[in-house]
Structure 1
Amino acid sequence: MERSWGQASLYLLNGAAVVGVVHGLTQLPQGIPHCFGQGLILHFSGTMLVASLAWLLWWGAAKVLGKPAPQPGTAFWVGWGLALMPLAASFLPHLPVLPQSPALGILVGLPVLAAAPLLARRFTPPFAWIRWLLPALAILCPLFLTLDRRGGAWHPGPYDLPEQPPESQSAETVGGQRPDLILISLDTLRADAVVGPNRAEVPVLDRLRQEGLWASYARASSNQTLPSHIGMLTGLDAMAFGVRSNYEALPSELALLSELLLDGGYRTFGVVTNGFIRGDAGFARGFEVYDDSAVALTGRRKAFQAMADDYSWFGWIVPSAWLDSLLQHPFVWGVPRVDKNLGGRGAGRRTTDRTLHALDQLQQQDRPYFLFSHFIDPHAPYGAPGVFRGSRTADLPLPAEEYRHSRPQGPVQQQHILAAEAGLRAGSEEAAEAVRFMHQLYLEEVSFLDACMGEIVAKVEASGRPTVILITGDHGEHFGEHNLMRHSNSVFEPLLQVPFFMWGHEVPAKQIDPPFLMDVAPTLLHLAGLESEGMAGRALLAPGEGGASRPHVARDDKRVAVVFEGWKWTARWTGGEEAPEATGLYDLKTDPQEQNNLLGEVDVPSALQDAISKLLARDTSASRRSGLAAEQRVFLEEMGYADEEDHEEGQE
């Protein structure tokens, strides 16, 4: 066959393309759910990239050395060998005797490159094949990607409520004038950000506080999103539901508020923007529609990128940051990534729009509805969008460079927050100034959230339907207390006190003693005329539900805190049969900032000691524990939790 560099390039590209497509079709090393088309595109285009680079190097070296173009068959097998390398690297780790390493794949491909002239004598594809094979494969890959999206896995929303309610709803559950119920969870919102002298500008929440039922704070079940939402949505305390942290899973046997309301005749709709409570994690149970499109793909994207880094030519030769940008492109997924706090186009704006879209449909229903709306704001990174940016920080000096974004208006990221925390522990005044600046940025974002709440309240009022809105949070955030930042790293009060507002149809205007997050589900069920049997929480508006004080327990996978009759006891404790190691005793009546640890100076009050013994004896965490799913670890990394150093309660 006549030699030419043009013909050699075609054979080289075709040899690589065939193996690249095979790699994509086999989905090795492991199939990532709903990423078939993406894998095909990745491996096909990666082999095309490396084959093109190889041809340029080959051609350049031949010109310098005065060598002729290679035989077409030789070029074909060289392309085949290059593409074989990531395929072999994907396959070989499945063999128990071999370690996981990309180098193994390269070692497998090198003999094919060396033997390419011999292999060419055995088989060289006819040029008629070569002329059509590459275009056919180039069409096949995007076609598979399109079909993959049409399969329903990639629908970015907004989602529509089914025209008919579930057939399981009986006629008996439908009648009666029951209010619509809206539960809004504001992630990472500490109570004193919206109530008290140092609160943000929150005119909407101020109005709801004046017109409705409110508390200076509610007590959260945990310092983390997943367990606190389980307590909120099941009506159980932390000992009963047994999930200690974001590293664990929602137990399938626990009945959710949404399931009970759906069975009770309510239409149900959810809108969420935190991956820990995505539908795949079990939180979609009981919802006719669960719009988690802002986060549903995050785990798949990250898992796919990890696979690409280790088992594709793209991952081997393209810098990780470039690859990340490529894989975030909407073309790859059909769904744009939702970033926080970017010029009014971030998560809070999107969540509000999706919530209003849900209300458009729910308010047309004859039946009452339950809407659960979760806002990721004001979780880090800190920085409000639009007109709220600078409302509290414009006149403040910028922090030192290590504590802020390189752009003056850029959001404060996890690395800046971690640097500030380290500076606090080192006694740096610059770090303390940076923390004060970050806190003001956070409060600006809270004001943005308040405006979002205003749009929802206005929509509810315009409908004229009897509606109750309950607004709360999952946990708070540290801003320098005990030299700590972030959350999930202590059981101090800034992390366990969250907002509580209840407003709407026949809700009395008054302040109540601090409720618990586990009171949310029974309170809403009572308004719906449904029983909350088996729940530990109280129905706050039910007759006779006030009165006697009760102990509160909060915990994570390392710590536990019990509050009773103004006293607070804390301990290191992982649960099960392990004995807790007490770390603190505080009189919250005289020391609400927890500055004076009385452990060892005074005896634990007998009533508190009795409550501790009874609560810890009911721990179910050992029976609830499950392995951390790969996607769950991805969300931990995405939210800044995974592999971070744990400076426990500032008491080390």
Structure 2
Amino acid sequence: MESADRPAPFLHRAALGLAAGGLLGLAIGAVESCLLLTAGGMGVREPLAEMLRIEAYYVVAAAGLGLVLHLLILRRSLAATVRVLLAAAAALLGVVWVRAWLSGGESVTFGMVVGSYAGGLAAVAAAWLAGRVLFRRPAPALILGLVAFGLAHGVALVGTGHAGGPDLGIQPWRGERPPNIAVLLIDTLRADRLGCYGYERPTSPEIDALAARGTRFEAAYAQASWTRPSVASLMTSLYPDSHDIRGDYDVLPAGLPTLAQVLKARGYHTAGFSANPQVSPLYGFDRGFDVFGRGGSHLLRRSAIGILDHMAKRTLRMRILPALTGGGAAATAGKAGKKKAEEKDPLAGSGAQALNRQVFQWLDDYDGRQPFFLYVQYIDPHTPYSPPEDLINEGGQEPVSLPAQFIDKNAPPYPLSSYEAAPPEVLAGLSRLYDAEVRYVDREIGRLLNRLAERGLLEDTIVVVTADHGEELYDHEQWLHGQSLFDELVRVPLIVAGPGVARQVVEEPVELIDLLPTAAGWSGAEIHFPIQGRDLGPILAGGGGDPERVVFSERQGAYPLHAVRRGRDKLIRITSPDGPVWLQYDLGRDPGERRNLAAEGGPAAELRELLERTVAAAGALLGERAAKVEATGAAADELKALGYIGDEG
């Protein structure tokens, strides 16, 4: 121990401060990680890896603080240094612990974490005893204990944390290399706003060129009219009633295999990038991806040390650096309405250009040894409509005030309710802004395709361009999305181009749930778990489709909606407290869905039976309920800015 009469030698004090701080940081990080895992109910894909990231931050921070305290301030007392470190940690953790205790949540199983820490603590005890015997001094023993804990924890991580997902009965590819697969999903994109789908304005030259060398599906349907359930259907090949992602707090059930897991099991390198917080690790969408680009560790961002790190970086970026360089809010206020969303907080970094930077960085690191599966979800043209200034001025359009509105999925849909109509000039302005957003993301998709071509990857890549849902611009007296199942919301673009894909237009209806079995077919994988989609491979190769194919969409809430389409006939059922409301349309004669045939004598019996049978079959396949989690912090700010939660959320 140190003498009370004189300070210990300089290096001795430094080592003691570093070691004491490092070990305390390790313990504090472990405690908070376990607390977050237990209270969050998040279904974290690799809990040990997430925990190690938090522990590393705490080790560095606490070791640095311990060094400063014991070397320069509390030089005579290691115990005083430890007490100060513990007090600082308690203050930092208090807010997060109380928040986690109040929010509750469903527990997750992490027995492997307990085993890992048992082994790590045993290693610490053995190393401490060995250090005292060998060195007879506390500092080397503390350092040896820190190293032993890290090694033991790392061994457990290798053994259990990277287990690679469920056994799907899929063997890695052998022999002929399967194609790369790139799914480019454009959030909130209406099919009828692309040139290749007949739109008169030049919004999509890059996507149009891609469609000209591949297959364009004229009648592709999303399974929901808002992001999370729609993308969950794409990833699992299940309808929302089967995968149970229906509300704002639902997490993708851990037992459902995903498209990324299928291709990973087949030997693909899997990379996902999403600008929409609805599709993030918080809700389980990183499962099966080797890389998921949402910026850092999700669990780390929820931890006390992660929040402190974020606040420090934000203060440095937003306040200190502008003050030092003479910048600030006044320098940019004149352009605030015209800047891209990625330049504005809380949607900083969300625009297509910023997302492409992440994808390009991944491409620069890609070594080509495995075929890749790339999933990119662009947020544009989601509200708030804020295209780049050059594209606004291109159409002579100034920004129009339309703040993102809270999408209340419990509100009555049309025709049970409607919003006040916007003046014609405002509606025209919003339409032009939306088109400019489409042109912006089209331009960025062109940049991504060019980058793939420059790397010599495009000719071996099957590219899919689609959307999770569309957008209503007062087509049926309502705005935005999530509130109905009309074609402006659930009919989405679907374009496929690449090796083995015919140049054609397919008129027969298809669904987003078809992407999983289709991609599995491209990779050579056989599916041995329940799905509801179909392999579109034969159609893409030039074969015919099924003109009687039934496609299905749904939306839950206080007024559940279900819709089926077969051929040109479409039926929507709205379940209301006063009984079901039926909407039936002949899309061949009435593509705008204006004449409700059900109002002229009730729904066609055959269509009604078909809808009820499809709903029952989807519910019968439900095997695992979705866990619940509430977005907090930066994720909640993003969702609020996009209109998914209200001010109270």
Task: Name the TM-score class by shorter chain.
Answer: 0.5 to 0.7
Query: Which secondary structure does the structure 2 equivalent of 1:483 belong to?
Result: coil
Q: Distance in 2 between matches of 1:566 and 1:214?
A: 18
TM-score (norm 1): 0.62
State the distance in 1 between where 2:222 and 2:287 align.
22
* Inter-CA distance 283–238: structure 2 relative to 1 (3 Å threshold): same
Q: Show the counterpart of 1:377.
A: 380
Moved more, 257-266 or 564-573: 564-573
Map residues 402-481 of structure 1 onto 2, 5 A cutoff: 403=401, 413-414=403-404, 425-429=419-423, 432-462=424-454, 463=456, 465-481=459-475
Query: In structure 2, what is the Cα distance between the partners aligned to 1:461 and 1:93?
Result: 48
CA displacement at 1:213 relative to structure 2: 0.6
Query: What's the secondary structure of 2:224's corresponding residue?
Result: coil
Q: 1:511 corresponds to which residue?
A: 505
CA shift digits 1:336-358 (9 cap, x unpaired): xx982439975211211222222
Q: What code does the residue aligned with 1:526 have? A: G
Instruction: Measure the CA separation in 2 of the matches of 1:170 and 1:216.
Output: 32
Match of 1:572 in 2: 574
Partners in 2 of 1:509 and 1:490 — Cα distance? 33
1:494 corresponds to which of 472, 475, 488: 488
State yes or no: 1:358 paired with 2:353. Answer: no
| 1:173 corresponding residue in structure 2 | 173
The answer to whether the 8 Å contact 1:245/1:556 transfers is no
CA 386–346 in structure 1, closer or farther in 2 if over 3 Å, else same? farther
Q: Who wins on radius of gyration, i.e. which is larger?
A: 1
Structure 1 counterpart of 2:44? none
Q: Aligned partners of 1:94, 1:455: CA distance in 2, in Å?
A: 43
Contact kept, 8 Å, 2:243 with 2:622, in 1: the verdict is no
C-alpha distance in structure 2 between counterparts of 1:95 and 1:355, whole Å: 37
Whether the aligned pair in 2 keeps the contact of 1:478 and 1:484 (CA below 8 Å) is yes
Aligned counterparts of 1:90 and 1:212: Cα–Cα separation in 2: 51
Partners of 1:612 and 1:501 in 2: CA distance: 27
- Amino acid in structure 2 at the alignment position of 1:492: F
After superposition, the Cα gap between the structure-2 partners of 1:252 and 1:417, relative to the gap in structure 1 and judged at 3 Å, is closer
Q: Which amino acid in the other structure matches residue 201 of structure 1?
A: T
Query: Where does residue 548 of structure 2 map in the other structure?
Result: 549
Q: In the alignment, is the contact (CA less than 8 A) between 2:251 and 2:282 conserved in 1?
A: no
After superposition, the Cα gap between the structure-2 partners of 1:304 and 1:172, relative to the gap in structure 1 and judged at 3 Å, is closer
Q: Which residue of structure 2 aligns with residue 387 of structure 1? A: 390
Q: Which residue of 2 aligns with 1:146?
A: none
CA–CA separation in structure 1 for the residues paired with 2:584 and 2:503 = 35
Residue 538 of structure 2 aligns to a residue whose secondary structure is coil
The aligned counterpart of 2:191 is 191
| Paired letter, 2:437 | E
Match of 1:293 among 286, 292, 295: 295
SS at match of 2:573: strand
Distance 1:362 1:199, change over 3 A: farther
Name the stretch that deviates more: 530-539 or 368-377.
530-539
Deviation at 1:615, TM superposition (A): 0.9
SS of the residue corresponding to residue 482 of structure 1 reads coil
The corresponding residue for 1:561 is 563
Is contact 2:506-2:545 (8 Å) kept? no
Equivalent residues of 2:181, 2:372 under 8 A apart: yes
Q: For residue 250 of structure 1, report the CA deviation from its aligned partner.
A: 0.9
Inter-partner Cα distance in structure 2 for 1:302 and 1:434: 45
State the 1:450 CA deviation. 1.0
Query: Is the Cα contact below 8 Å between 2:552 and 2:564 reproduced in 1?
Result: yes
Deviations 1:441-498 (A, max 9, x none): 1211111111111122112223155111011110111111122111111112111011
Relative to 1, partners in 2 of residues 1:231 and 1:587: Cα closer, same or farther, differing over 3 Å? same
AA at the equivalent of 1:179 = P
Identity of aligned residues (%): 24
Q: Distance in 2 between matches of 1:539 and 1:215?
A: 14
Which region of structure 1 is more displaced relative to structure 2, 619-628 or 269-278?
Answer: 619-628
Change (3 A) 1:363 1:476: farther
Structure 2 counterparts to residues 33-48 of structure 1, below 5 A = none
1:262 touches 1:287 (CA, 8 Å); kept in 2?
yes
- What TM-score does the superposition give when structure 2 sets the normalisation length? 0.63
Q: Secondary structure in 1 aligned to 2:211?
A: helix
Q: Structure 1 regions of 5+ residues with no counterpart?
A: 1-23, 42-83, 97-150, 153-161, 309-323, 333-337, 405-412, 646-652
Give structure 2 stretches of 5+ with no counterpart: 1-27, 41-50, 62-89, 103-152, 155-161, 319-338
After superposition, the C-alpha distances for 1:489-525 in whole angstroms (9 at most, x for unaligned) are 1112111011111111121110012421111111111
Q: Given that residues 170 and 262 in structure 2 are in contact (C-alpha distance below 8 angstroms), is that contact kept between their aligned partners in structure 1?
A: no
Amino acid across the alignment from 2:228: L
Equivalent residue, structure 2, for 1:589: 588
Q: Is the 8 A contact 1:248 1:625 kept in 2?
A: no
Q: Does 1:526 align with 2:529?
A: no
Shift of 1:170: 9.0
Give the direction of change, closer, same or farther, for the CA distance of 1:605–1:294 in structure 2 (3 Å limit).
farther
How far 1:602 sits from its partner (Å)?
A: 2.8
Q: How far, CA to CA, are the matches of 1:492 and 1:232 in structure 2? A: 19
Q: C-alpha separation between the residues in 2 aligned to 1:446 and 1:572?
A: 31
CA-CA distance at 1:417 after TM superposition: 11
Task: Please state whether the residue corresponding to 1:269 is helix, strand or coil.
Answer: strand
Deviations 1:305-346 (A, max 9, x none): 9xx9xxxxxxxxxxxxxxx998944679xxxxx982439975
What is the deviation of 1:605?
2.4
Contact kept, 8 Å, 1:491 with 1:554, in 2: the verdict is: yes
Partner Cα separation in structure 1 for residue 465 and residue 305 of structure 2? 34
Superposed displacement of residue 545, structure 1: 7.0
Say whether residues 1:607 and 2:606 are aligned partners.
Answer: yes
8 Å contact kept, 1:303–1:631: no
Matches for 1:89-128 after TM superposition, within 5 Å: none
- The 1:359/1:568 distance shift into structure 2, 3 A limit, reads same
Letter in 2 for 1:190: R
SS of 1:433 mapped into structure 2: helix
